[in-house]
Amino acid sequence: MALKACTAGICVPKSKRGKVASRPSPKLTLEQLQAEQAAYESQRQQQQQPPTAAAASSEEEEEGEELYYGGSSSGGAGGAGGRAGGTVQYGSSDAVPEVVTNRMLRRVILFMGTPVFGGILLFPFFYWLKIKQGVDLPNWVAYLSSSLTFGGGLLGISYGIMSASWDPRREGSLLGWTEFQANVPLLLDRFKRGSD
């Protein structure tokens, strides 16, 4: 049985040396990501087929690949929101793990909130410049700066979601550029497969 590392209700397999990967490799290629996604999809298809005696023994061997994460006791059996046993295999289509959605929400608040808050602060700043300092700026400067800050907030929502690590086992980097570079090809590939 594989060793497990548990942090904040998440248990993930550890290597023989006791190490858990904390960041994605910056050298991941689109082909590697697609191969990993294909492996998860084939594993999900195997789970949907009725188990046989040989498949039951292989499921016991693959138990080390499951992720266990804590959930509230609201919902059905298992205490994880209706999932039996509280386990969800990585790559399953049941739901986005709560760890990932919380990570996305934190990043959206940061990347959307900063420019929007700056845009809100521009209104009293322009008032102070005009009334207190006597600087008469053209109206287009206020309009342009407001548009840029609030537009930056709109882009921050998208970047906040795309820059979060979609893997519940990895936290990701501070600014999320590595995760953004990994997630955009996955999203584009998903759109291409959906349109075919």
Helices (H), 1-97: 30-48, 53-61
* Residue 17 φ/ψ region, left for φ over 0, alpha for ψ in the -120 to 50 degree band, beta for the rest: alpha
Taking the CB of residue 99, how many other CB atoms lie within 10 A of it? Answer: 19
The pLDDT of residue 3 is above 80: no
Answer whether 99's CB lies under 8 Å from 68's CB: no
The answer to whether position 177 is within a domain reads no
CA of 121: how far to CAs of 124, 133, 135, 149, in Å? 6, 17, 17, 10
Of 27-36, 40-49, 71-80, which one has max mean pLDDT?
40-49
The answer to whether position 181 is within a domain reads no
The answer to whether position 153 is within a domain reads no
pLDDT value of residue 156: 95
Spatial CB neighbours of 5, under 8 Å, sequence gap ≥ 6: 11, 12, 13, 14, 20
Flag whether the pTM goes above 0.85. no
Number of structural domains, the chain? 1
The answer to whether position 33 is within a domain reads yes
Three-class DSSP category at 60: helix
The answer to whether position 13 is within a domain reads yes
Mean pLDDT across the stretch 134-158? Answer: 93
Answer whether 156's CB lies under 8 Å from 108's CB: yes
Q: What are the pLDDT digits (tens) for 71-122?
A: 333 333 333 444 444 454 555 555 788 888 999 999 999 999 999 999 999 9
The answer to whether position 64 is within a domain reads yes
CA 25/CA 146 separation, integer angstroms: 38
Q: Which amino acid is at 25?
A: S
The answer to whether position 15 is within a domain reads yes
The answer to whether position 82 is within a domain reads yes
Range of the domain at 43: 1-95
Answer whether 155's CB lies under 8 Å from 116's CB: no
Q: Looking at per-residue confidence, does 74 or 148 come out higher? A: 148
CA 29/CA 47 separation, integer angstroms: 27
